[in-house]
Chain A
Amino acid sequence: MKSKYAPFLMVLPLLALYLLFVFYPVANAVLSSFFSWNGIASSPQVFVGLRNYIDLAKDPRYFRAFANSGRFIIGSLLFLMPLSFALGGIIVSGVRGSRVMKAAYFLPVVLSLTAISLMWRSILYPNGGPLNALLEGMNLDRLAQNWLGDVRFAIWAVVFVNMWTYAGLNMLIFAAGLVSIPQEIWDSVAIDGAGKVARFWYITLPSLKESFKAFLVLAVSGSLKVFDIVFIMTGGGPNGSSDTPATLLYFQAFRFNRFGIGNAIGTLILLFGLAWALLVNRAVRKLEA
């Protein structure tokens, strides 16, 4: 018995929850970013046009938060990409121990970011933390730093921990691309006598277009969304130097009741992510054409 309404009724519960609790809040945030509101339910939202965005542009704190997203992106492109590419190569190579290595490299992905942040906080602890102890033990005292308490280093320390956490995930993205290259291709280029560099350049890289696309979209949207690690490791400090858009949104909205500004930050996080995803998709399509 197929009832006419059954399909609708079966989709409805989950769709309703999703629309109400995910879709609607995001849409509402975009709309509310043109209003000013102090968070008190009885007081009205006042239409202010682009003022929240103008305030954002004028205040160096906000610029710094988005610049910090830029630092996460730089870290991703310069270090995380080659790192996870190499790890992907290592685990598909089938060398002895590669299965164990794959399991180990991925392990941080399943740990809570709170636990990870607490572990790294203690490793980077300035007095008696193992990193500084190691440097001092090697007579490199000059290199020992107050990693999370110094405006020069805090943001980069967090960038590193973020890469440490997600290297295993990105490794699998590249590994998926590497194993999808058919064996015949390797056999045929082996016959052609192509050198290692030529093989890498003309076969490995072009075959990994999908992997690179996934990596680039994930790295940038992930960089725009960093919250937990900064929140626990530095609280955005010292002096706001390691704030990200998401932590700034949280502090502005839920500590200082500046909800209009918060929604403007949220809207920018959304828009930058969408724009980048479209850009990467289009670029990859062009490469294929």
Chain B
Amino acid sequence: MKATSFRNLGVGLTVFAVFWLFVTLYPLSFTIVSSFKDNTEIFSSPMSLPSVLRIENYTRALLQATILRNIANSLFLSVISVALLLFLVSICSYVLAREKAKWAVVVYLVFLSGFLLPVHSALIPLTKLVSALGGYNNYAMLIILFVSYNAPLSVFLVTGYMKTVSKELDEAAFLDGCGYFQTVIYVILPVSAPIFATAGIVAFLFIYNDLIFSILFLSKKTLYTVSIGLSAFVGERIVEYGPIFASIVLSSLPMVAIYLLFQEKVQKGITEGAIKG
């Protein structure tokens, strides 16, 4: 790390660093702690540790509620969408990175303009389109939407990276008789693996956490995703809170695991996308 004017934090910043650490982590620890409590304990002593670990909150969440199904649904949607997205991005970005013609530059800019298009502005016409295509309660439709809406960030990340990949690799492949398509799949894709990992992980995160497309286009309970499954707790007459906290913990675990495993990539991908926006 380079030195900056912050080399010595000083008392004020140190205290603040610890304070914000507490503010950041408290809601998470409160949720985890409450997931092991019963109602009485949650409300009469919200700040204390559970007197006994009520594991049954978890078994109940898993058995009674549909959270496990929701998690499986979200994971399924994310995996398929990311796979399709990365395949389409790989062939598209390769052309955008190599082609010098004006049309390619225009296409690239059209993709980048997506950073400035708010998803909510699109919702009403999109609903019409989805309904015309028979896309309600249809995972194929959702996957296509996830691919389309994650395209700008992925194209931006991957095209930028591929521009740095040496052209000699392509030329060697062409000499060996590879077509454009084969060159991408067998030569360029493998050397661009790091950026595909970044783009894929970030898209995975966004898709797994999606709320708006799920509430608009899914009404069948068996198809519910994590966000819509959790949001169903709001406004419902709740008998027991413990299993709800357990459901929040369970449904967040995949994302926390991915984050802890690929911290740098997650941070880099999301931040670059944000800066571009």
CA distance A128 to B43 in the complex (A): 5
Is the pair B180, A10 in contact by a Cβ cutoff of 8 Å?
yes
Evaluate contact between B234 and A267: CB separation under 8 angstroms: no
Docked complex: A114-151 residues within 8 A CB-CB of B:
114-116, 118-123, 127-130, 133-134, 137
Chain A residue nearest to B14 (CB atoms) is A95
State which of A55-63, A70-78, A218-226 sits at the interface with chain B. A218-226
The distance from the CB of A123 to the nearest CB of chain B, in whole angstroms, is: 6
In the complex, whether B156 has a CB less than 8 A from a CB of chain A is: no
Q: How far, in Å, is B68 (CB) from chain A's closest CB?
A: 16
Chain B stretch 19-53: residues in CB contact (< 8 A) with chain A: 20-21, 23-28, 30-31, 34, 42-44, 46-47
Contact B255 A181 (CB under 8 A): no
Report the contact-size class of chain A (Cβ under 8 Å from the partner): 35 or more
Of chain B, the residue at the smallest CB distance from A100 is: B21
CA distance A108 to B27 in the complex (A): 10
Contact of B122 with A114 in the complex, beta carbons under 8 Å: no
Complex Cα gap A2–B92 (Å): 16
If the complex has contacts A112-B227, A114-B226, A273-B118, are A106 and B267 also in contact, measured as CB distance less than 8 A? yes
Chain B contact residues, majority secondary structure: helix
Give the shortest distance, in Å, between A162 (CB) and chain B (any CB): 14
Interface size class of B (residues with CB under 8 A): 35 or more
Name the CB-closest residue of B to A1. Answer: B179
The contact of B263 among A10, A103, A164, by CB within 8 Å, is: A103
Interface segment among B58-66, B161-169, B189-197, B269-277: the answer is B269-277
Decide yes or no whether A214 CB sits under 8 A from chain B.
Answer: yes
Q: List 10 A-B contacts (CB under 8 A).
A: A13-B88, A17-B148, A22-B151, A89-B4, A105-B20, A115-B230, A200-B5, A232-B231, A245-B120, A250-B120
Beyond the given A118-B234, A250-B120, could you list 9 further A-B residue pairs with CB under 8 A, ordered by the A residue number?
A10-B181, A22-B117, A93-B6, A106-B266, A110-B205, A110-B255, A262-B123, A266-B118, A266-B120
**What residues of chain A have their CB less than 8 Å away from a CB belonging to chain B?**
1-3, 6-7, 10-11, 13-15, 17-26, 28-30, 32, 41, 83, 86-87, 89-90, 92-95, 98, 101, 103-116, 118-123, 127-130, 133-134, 137, 164, 167-169, 172-173, 176, 178-179, 181, 183, 186, 196, 199-200, 203-204, 214, 217-218, 221, 224-225, 227-228, 231-232, 235, 245-246, 249-250, 253-254, 259, 262-263, 266-267, 269-270, 273-274, 277
Q: A173 to chain B: which residues have CB within 8 Å?
A: 271, 274-275
Measured CA separation A93–B248 after assembly (Å): 34
- The docked-state distance in angstroms from the alpha carbon of A173 to that of B275 is 7
Q: How far is the CB of A172 from chain B (nearest CB, A)?
A: 4
Which of chain B's residues have a CB closer than 8 A to the CB of A130? Answer: 30, 46-47
**Are the CB atoms of A179 and B46 closer together than 8 Å?**
no
What per-residue 1/0 map shows which CB atoms of B172-189 lie under 8 Å from chain A? 001001111100100000
